[in-house]
Amino acid sequence: MYISEEHPNILQFDIFRDSVGILDFVTTSLPPDDDSGDFNIGFAGGDGCVENRVKLALAFGLTPENFVFQTQIHKTNYHFATREDAGAGFYMKQNAIPDNDILITDQPGLCLITRSADCVPILMYAPKQKVIAAIHSGREGCRLGAAPKAAQILHHKYGADFNDILVGIGPHICKKCYTVDKDCADNYLSREYFAPNIVEPADNGQFTIDMKKTIISDLMHIGIPLGNIEHSELCTKHHAPSFYSARNGDDARFCAGIMLL
Ligand SMILES: [Zn+2]
């Protein structure tokens, strides 16, 4: 990832850098151009969050109607965003796309948003078909295969070749920081796709879960080349306070967004 040339507190994916006709970004815990204040764009922060979403829109010359937010419930439900969804969830959670973790569109001007604080924000782009996706994949999303499901939809519905799909995996809690108990680890392994070494023993009878390796393995399993997948090395927990981390007790959220211009 690289730091946005226009906005010092916004990150962008190298994998999309040469793609003409899309905008992508990942926010941090700081406003786009200002090192004071916070930048919670989640739903649990009242008016401050709405002000921050307005700041985000202004940073990219967008309006609230460009944005599509989803509520995110740790499943693999998907939604094809259309003009009717313009502005969904920008001002209030009640208007966001409900019970959804995968947003997909082939329509320009709709900025698909996935919110995160330790969960994995994932952006996808199929350049030939001009289709994008924003995916929220926490532990359950990784167990259930939210990312490969999104890629399958780009393939089956839009005809995207897996060799062409570009993927950006944003900042999230790293394997070292993500320890769980045995029941949780066992549950994580009860998954459809096989991915090696995604759960490993840690201290005190705990286990680590490697969500990044899970996602990369799953995407490669269905045919997306490793070279098409960029993954951030930033950890939301141990790189606090640059990001928000649920494990650090934050109920604030940063976000990743992608839009066809
Ligand atoms: Zn970490």
**C-alpha 26: how far from its chain's center?**
8
> For the domain 2-174+212-260, what is the CATH superfamily, name and number?
CNF1/YfiH-like putative cysteine hydrolases (3.60.140.10)
Helix crossing, 211-221 with 146-156: angle to 10°?
30
CA of 197 to the centre of ligand 1 (A): 17
DSSP three-state, residue 53 = helix
Name every residue whose Cβ is closer than 8 Å to that of residue 249 and which is 6 or more positions away in sequence.
none
Which residues crowd ion ligand 1, with CB under 5 Å? 174, 177, 235, 237-238
CA dist 140 and 121 (Å) reads 13
**Of 124, 114, 115, which is closest to residue 158 (Cα–Cα)?**
124
Task: Name the token pair of 159.
Answer: 């005809």
CA dist 243 and 182 (Å) reads 28
pLDDT tens series, the chain, 261 aa: 999 999 999 999 999 999 999 999 999 999 999 988 899 999 998 889 999 999 999 999 999 999 999 999 999 999 999 999 999 999 999 999 999 999 999 999 999 999 999 999 999 999 999 999 999 999 999 999 999 999 999 999 999 999 999 999 999 999 999 999 999 999 999 998 888 899 999 999 999 999 999 999 999 999 999 999 999 999 999 998 899 999 999 999 999 999 999
Sequence ranges of the domains in the chain: 2-174+212-260
